[in-house]
Amino acid sequence: MCRLVLVTWWRSRLTAKYWLKAVKGHNSPREFLVTQGPLHSTRDDFWRMCWESNSRAIIMLTNCIEKGREKCDHYWPYDTLPVYYGDICVTLLNESHYPHWSISEFMMCQ
């Protein structure tokens, strides 16, 4: 059984909250983290969460815009120039596009 965890990070004087669910995998009872897609106001916290949880993969199951409504911010770099999200530097290393999906490879550092 998975436990729902509310994780809070402090940045400046604001608190951003994420609902996380640890999902059982083949090798571990908490192998995957599931959360909502970040909005513009929470993307720094999203990358902090990825860094602190030592995430090796991000799987996005939604489009940024669906039926004219923003579902998720474009929270990754548009090109190969490094972008800082708070104190986490994210660099796009490679991007491959397919008819219905794409694969992007990033490097994170602090």
31-65 tens-digit pLDDT: 777 788 888 988 998 898 888 888 888 988 888 99
The residues, any chain, with a CB within 8 Å of residue 3's CB and separated by 6 or more, are 21, 22
The residues, any chain, with a CB within 8 Å of residue 42's CB and separated by 6 or more, are 16, 18, 73
Total domains in the fold of the chain:
1
Q: Alpha helix (H) ranges present in 15-89?
A: 43-52
CATH number of the domain to which 71 belongs? 3.90.190.10
Q: Alpha helix (H) ranges present in 1-110?
A: 43-52
Higher pLDDT, 69 or 25: 69
Q: Mean pLDDT throughout 69-73?
A: 92
Domain coverage including residue 88: 4-109
Confidence of residue 5 (pLDDT cuts 50, 70, 90): very low
